Structure 1
Amino acid sequence: MTTDLRGAPGRPSAPPAPTALRRPNRPRANLPGGLGALVWLAVVGVPLYALLAATFKEKSDYLDNGPLALPSDPTLGNYAKVWHSGFPTYLLNTALVTVAVVAIVIALAVPVGYAVVRSRSLLSRAAFRAFLLGLAIPSQAVIIPVYLVITQLRLYDTLLAVILPTAAFSLPVCVLILAGSMRDIDEEMYEAMAVDGAGQTRTLLRLVIPMSRAGISTVGVYAALQAWNGFLFPLILTQSASQRVLTLGLYDYVAEFRVDTPALLTAVVLSMLPIFVVYLFARRQLINGLMGVGGK
C-alpha cells in the first residue's frame, strides 16, 4: 500500500513493466556477396597460380600435366635459363628508358601544370587545350610520322628513339593529373607567398611541389608504367638485340613451331617484379593523386 500527500492510504502502484529483451544486432550473412567474392577470387587467383606454378615446371611436365597441375619435380632451371639468355640486358634497357621517361615527364609536367593553374593568359589556356587534345590521339594513329621524325633525327635503333615518343604521349594525362592536384592548394597560401615577396619560381619550389607530392607520385607511377610496358615504339623504332627491352625480349622464347611456355612465363614474372615493387611503395600517393584529378 502507498500513501498520498495527505497521509491517506492510496492505490497500490503498478509494478514496473519488464523491459523487452533486445537481441544484439548481428550482421546478416550476405550470401550473394560472399559467392561473388569467391567467384572473383577464383577469377584472379587461378591464373596467378597457373602463372607461378609454370615457372617451376619443366617443359615436358607442363605439356603432359597441364597448367593447373602441381609441379611434379619443382625446379629453378627456368629462372637460370631466362637470366642467362639476355634478360639482364633487356632489364637494364627497360630501366634506363623508364627512368628517363619519368624524369622528362615530371620536369615538363610540373611547370606546365603550374602555369595552367596560375596563369590567366590565353596562351596557357590554349596550351592546356592542346594537351587535352593529345588524350584523343592514340600512338598507333601517328606511328608513321613518329618513325619519319626519328629517322630524320638519326635516332633510329637507339633508346632515345623509345624515350622521347613515350614521354610525349604520357604528358597529356600527367598534365591533367597535376593541374587537378595543384588546384586543391588554397588560394590563401599563394597570397601568403606573394606577401613574403616570393616570385613564381620560389612559389613553385617552396609551395607547389611540396603540396603536390601525391600528384607528382601519381604522374611518376603512370609514366613508369607506360615506359615499362611499352611495346609499339620499341617494336617499330629499334632493331638490334642490344637495344631490346623486356616487352620485345619475351619473343626470344617464341619460335615458328614451338613455344617454351615455362620460360616465357618466368620472363613475365621477372619483368613485372620491379614495377610491382614500385607500385607497392607508391600506391597511397597514386590513389590520393587520382582523387584530385577533378579539382575541388
Structure 2
Amino acid sequence: MSNHRPNYLAGFGSLVWLFLVGLPLYAMLVATLQSRTGYAENGPLSLPDSPTFDNYLRILQDPGSGFGRYFLNTALVTVCVVGLVLLLVPPLCYAIVRSRSRTTHTIFRLFLLGLAIPSQAVIVPMFYVISKAGLYDNLVGVVLPTAAFAMPVCALILTGVMRDITPDLYEAMTVDGASPSRVFFRLVLPLSRSGLSTIVVYSALQAWNGFLFPLVLTQSEETKVITLGLYDFQTEHGVDIPGLLTAVVLSLLPILLVYLCARRALVQGLMGVGGK
C-alpha cells in the first residue's frame, strides 16, 4: 500500500497558478469574438452574446490593416535569424568541445560575456554601426543584431548537449579514418538533434518577439514587423481592443506551432545545458 498523502497545499497552489495564467488567456480569446461595441458594453470577462469571427476576417482580408505585410516581414526576419544561428553555432560548439586549446576556451568564455550585456545597453552604438553600414531601415539590419544576441545562449545550450556525446564514439569514427568534417556531419549533428531543436525555438522566439531592434533600426511601413504593427490599432480616438487582441492571437499561432512540434526535443536540450 502507498503511504503517500495528497498534498493539498501543492494542489491549491496549482489551482491559483492555473487561474492566474488562464484568466488573461480567457479574456484575450473572448475579446477576439466580440465587436468593438459589444466589448465596450459587456466588459472584458463576459461571454459574448453573439460570437463573431469578423475581427479575424477583417485583419486577414483588409489590405489597410497591413497585418499580412507585417507577418511576412516578421517571418522573413525569423527564418534568417534561425538560419544564421544554425549555420554558425554548431561548428563553433563542435570546435569548443573537441579542442583542447586554452585559446579556444578563453574565446568561448569571452563569447559568453554576451549573456551579461543587455541589448538596451548597446542600442546607441548599434544604431551608429547599422547606419554607417547602410542597413538602416532594412530588415538585414534587424536580422544581424538579433542573431548576434541569440548566439551566446544558443552556444551555451548546444555545447552542453555536444559534451554529452561519449568520447568513445569520437574515437571509433577517428579510428575508421573519418575526417573531422565527417565526424561533425555523421555523428555530432544527428546526436545533437535535441540541442538543435532547442536553439531553433529559442532563436525563433527572439526574432519573432523582437521589439527594440525593429523599433530603433527601422522606420518605414515596408519594414515594419508584427510587434510594431500592433500600434496601428491605437489611434487618437481610442484603442481597437478586439482587433488588437485578434492580431496578437494570430501572431502567436506560428511560434506556438513551432513549440508544439519541438517541445520534447526542447526539454531534452535544456536538460543538457550543464554538460558533463
> Shared topology, TM-score over 0.5?
yes
State the alpha-carbon separation in 2 of the partners of residues 124 and 243 from structure 1. Answer: 38
Deviations for 1:151-182, whole angstroms, at most 9, x for unmatched residues?
11111111101100000000000111111000
Q: 1:152 matched to which residue of 2?
A: 132
Q: 1:66 matched to which residue of 2?
A: 43
Shift of the alpha carbon at 1:130?
A: 1.6
State the alpha-carbon separation in 1 of the partners of residues 58 and 124 from structure 2. Answer: 36
Shift of the alpha carbon at 1:217?
A: 0.7
Shift of the alpha carbon at 1:35?
A: 2.1
Q: 1:75 matched to which residue of 2?
A: 52
State the alpha-carbon separation in 1 of the partners of residues 185 and 119 from structure 2. Answer: 33
- Is residue 2:158 matched to residue 1:181? no
Q: 2:31 matched to which residue of 1?
A: 54
State the alpha-carbon separation in 2 of the partners of residues 74 and 180 from structure 1. Answer: 49
Q: Quick check: which one's helix share is greater? A: 2
Deviations for 1:60-104, whole angstroms, at most 9, x for unmatched residues?
111121100011221111112222211111111111110100010
Q: 1:279 matched to which residue of 2?
A: 259
User: More deviation in 91-100 or 35-44?
Assistant: 35-44
State the alpha-carbon separation in 2 of the partners of residues 27 and 127 from structure 1. Answer: 51
Deviations for 1:238-273, whole angstroms, at most 9, x for unmatched residues?
111111111001001012341110100000000000
Q: 2:146 matched to which residue of 1?
A: 166
Q: Indicate which of 106, 129, 146 corresponds to 2:109.
A: 129
- Is residue 2:193 matched to residue 1:238? no
Q: Which amino acid aligns with 1:154?
A: G
Shift of the alpha carbon at 1:198?
A: 1.1
Q: Indicate which of 42, 59, 76 corresponds to 1:96.
A: 76
State the alpha-carbon separation in 2 of the partners of residues 41 and 209 from structure 1. Answer: 38
Q: Which amino acid aligns with 1:228?
A: W
Q: Indicate which of 155, 170, 181 corresponds to 1:190.
A: 170
Equivalent pairs: percent with the same residue?
60
Deviations for 1:28-74, whole angstroms, at most 9, x for unmatched residues?
44332332222222112111111100001111111121100011221
State the alpha-carbon separation in 2 of the partners of residues 42 and 59 from structure 1. Answer: 26
Gaps of 5+ in 1: 1-23
State the alpha-carbon separation in 2 of the partners of residues 126 and 33 from structure 1. Answer: 45
Gaps of 5+ in 2: none
Q: Which amino acid aligns with 1:41?
A: L
Structural RMSD (CA): 1.3
**Which one has the largest radius of gyration?**
1
State the alpha-carbon separation in 2 of the partners of residues 225 and 100 from structure 1. Answer: 13
State the alpha-carbon separation in 1 of the partners of residues 87 and 102 from structure 2. Answer: 23
State the alpha-carbon separation in 2 of the partners of residues 175 and 225 from structure 1. Answer: 16
- Is residue 2:267 matched to residue 1:267? no
Report runs of 4+ in structure 1 exceeding 4 Å deviation: 24-27
